[in-house]
C-alpha cells in the first residue's frame, strides 16, 4: 500500500548498441549508456544521489564482482551509495523499481538506474551455464534440463492445451525482427520468415534457434526525479504511473500451471490498478520475449488476450507496429538483443522514446501510455512498469 509517496518521472535515458561488442568492456558499455542518460537529463554526475545497477552474472561472464562501486566510479558518481541488483533476467527491471522506490519515498531526488551485461567474453557453453543459474540449480539444471528446455516444456503444454502451433510461435520472431530493422541499437537488423524460423537449428523441441533470444553485450540507463520538479531538467519527462513486482516458485515443477506465469499475472494486475488504467488503454508495450513462447504467455498473463488466444492474434498481426497495441517495437529481446542485466532498463528506454515521440521509423503514432514487462528465470520473478506521457 502506497502512502504519501511522491510521483516519479524519467528525465533522461541512454542506450548502447546491443550485440557482440568485442571492442568494448563492461565498464565502457555502462559509461556510454550512463553518459547518454546524463546528457539527456541535462545534469552532471554531481547531481546524482544514488545508483542502482542491474547486473545478473558479471562474476561468471567477466570475473568481476563488486560491480556497483565499479559502475559508480566509471560514471563519476563519487562517494554516493551504489547498489548492484541481481534478479536473473529481471535484474534491470528490478533495479528500476528500486530507483522508483528511492525517489517516491523521498529519500533521494535524483537517482540513476543502469543495466549492463558483457556476455560474449565466454564460450556459448559457459554462457549457457551462467544463465542456467536463473533456474533451480538443484532440481532443474542439475538434473540435466537447459534453460531453453524449461521454456520448451511451457511451449509443448501450451500447444497441447490451446492448439498453439510452431508457425504461430515463429510469427513472434518474425514480427520482432521486422521491428528491429528500424532500430539502430538492435543486434539483428534483418527480417526473417516463418519458413526460416521453422527450418532453423533445433534447440529444445519445439523451439528452434530463431525462437530464442541471443547472447548479447550492451547497457542501458535512465535518470529518475520527482515528477514535481522533472520539467526543471527535461521538457518531456515521462511519468512512471506504476511499478510492481511479484514472485513465484523457482522450480517450474512446483508451479500451479506451466502455461501461465503467476508472477506476471499478479504484478500486471497490481500495475493496472496502481496506474488506474486497463490493458486496452496501453498503446505500446515491451514484453519479455526471451523465447517466442514467452511473448505469447506475456500477452495472456497481462490480460491483453484471454488464455489460448494470443498466439493466433500475434500471427494475425494484431500486435504489429502501428496496430492498436504495438508490441516490442524495439525488436524485443529476440531482435534487439538480450544482455540480461540491461534488458529491463532498455525496455524503459524504448517506452520513454515512444511516449516522447522520439522512436524514429518505429514510432507509434499518438502513443500516450506504455508498459514494460521484465521476467526473471522461467517466471519466478516478474516486474511491470506502466508509463504515461505528460500532456
| Residues taking part in catalysis | 89, 338
Reading the block at residue 79, the C-alpha cell is 562517494
Q: Which residues pair with 212 in a beta bridge?
A: 291
DSSP letters, 248-294, are: --SSGGGSS-SSS-HHHHHHHHHHHHHHT--GGG--EEE---SBHHH
What span, in angstroms and rounded, lies between the C-alpha atoms of 335 and 300?
A: 21
Give all strands (DSSP E) within the chain, no chain letters.
8-15, 50-54, 82-85, 111-118, 202-204, 207-208, 217-226, 238-247, 284-286, 326-327, 369-376, 381-389
Taking a C-beta distance cutoff of 8 angstroms, is the pair 11, 225 a contact? Answer: yes
User: Which residue matches cell numbers 497481462?
Assistant: 302
Compute how many other C-beta atoms are within 10 angstroms of the C-beta atom of residue 228: 10
Give the contacts of 132 (CB within 8 A, at least 6 positions apart).
141, 146, 147
Reading the block at residue 326, the C-alpha cell is 504495438
Amino acid at each position: 500500500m502506497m502512502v504519501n509517496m511522491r510521483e516519479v518521472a524519467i528525465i533522461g535515458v541512454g542506450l548502447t548498441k546491443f550485440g557482440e561488442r568485442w571492442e568494448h568492456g563492461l565498464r565502457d558499455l555502462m559509461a556510454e549508456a550512463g553518459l547518454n542518460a546524463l546528457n539527456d537529463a541535462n545534469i552532471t554526475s554531481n547531481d546524482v544521489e544514488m545508483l542502482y545497477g542491474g547486473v545478473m552474472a558479471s562474476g561468471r561472464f567477466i570475473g568481476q564482482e563488486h560491480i556497483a562501486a565499479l559502475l559508480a566510479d566509471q560514471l563519476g558518481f563519487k562517494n554516493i551509495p551504489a547498489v548492484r541488483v541481481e534478479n536473473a533476467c529481471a535484474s534491470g527491471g528490478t533495479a528500476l523499481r528500486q530507483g522508483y522506490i528511492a525517489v517516491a519515498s523521498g529519500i533521494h531526488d535524483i537517482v540513476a538506474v543502469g543495466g549492463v551485461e558483457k556476455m560474449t567474453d565466454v564460450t556459448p557453453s559457459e554462457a549457457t551455464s551462467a544463465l542456467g543459474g536463473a533456474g533451480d540449480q538443484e532440481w532443474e539444471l542439475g538434473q540435466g534440463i537447459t534453460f531453453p528446455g524449461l521454456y520448451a516444456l511451457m511451449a509443448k503444454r501450451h500447444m497441447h492445451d490451446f492448439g498453439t502451433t510452431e508457425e504461430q510461435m515463429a510469427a513472434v520472431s518474425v514480427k520482432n525482427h521486422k521491428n528491429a530493422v528500424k532500430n539502430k541499437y538492435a543486434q539483428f537488423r534483418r527480417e526473417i520468415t516463418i519458413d526460416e524460423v521453422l527450418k532453423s537449428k533445433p534447440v529444445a523441441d519445439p523451439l528452434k534457434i530463431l525462437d530464442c533470444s541471443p547472447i548479447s553485450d550492451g547497457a542501458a540507463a535512465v535518470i529518475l526525479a520527482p515528477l514535481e520538479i522533472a520539467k526543471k531538467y527535461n521538457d518531456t519527462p515521462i511519468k512512471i504511473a506504476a511499478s510492481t513486482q511479484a514472485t513465484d516458485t523457482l522450480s517450474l515443477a512446483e508451479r500451479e500451471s506451466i502455461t501461465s506465469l503467476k508472477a506476471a499475472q499478479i504484478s500486471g494486475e497490481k500495475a493496472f490498478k496502481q496506474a488506474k488504467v486497463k490493458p486496452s488503454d496501453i498503446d505500446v508495450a515491451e514484453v519479455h520475449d526471451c523465447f517466442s513462447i514467452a511473448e505469447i504467455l506475456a500477452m495472456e498473463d497481462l490480460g491483453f488476450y484471454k488464455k489460448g488466444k494470443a498466439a493466433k492474434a500475434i500471427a494475425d498481426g494484431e500486435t504489429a507496429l502501428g496496430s492498436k497495441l504495438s508490441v516490442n517495437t524495439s525488436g524485443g529481446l529476440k531482435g534487439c538483443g538480450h544482455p540480461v542485466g540491461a534488458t529491463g532498463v532498455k525496455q524503459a528506454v524504448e517506452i520513454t522514446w515512444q511516449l516522447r515521440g522520439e522512436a524514429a521509423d518505429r514510432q507509434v503514432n499518438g502513443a500516450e501510455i506504455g508498459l514494460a514487462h521484465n521476467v526473471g528465470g522461467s517466471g519466478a520473478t516478474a516486474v511491470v512498469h506502466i508509463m504515461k506521457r505528460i500532456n
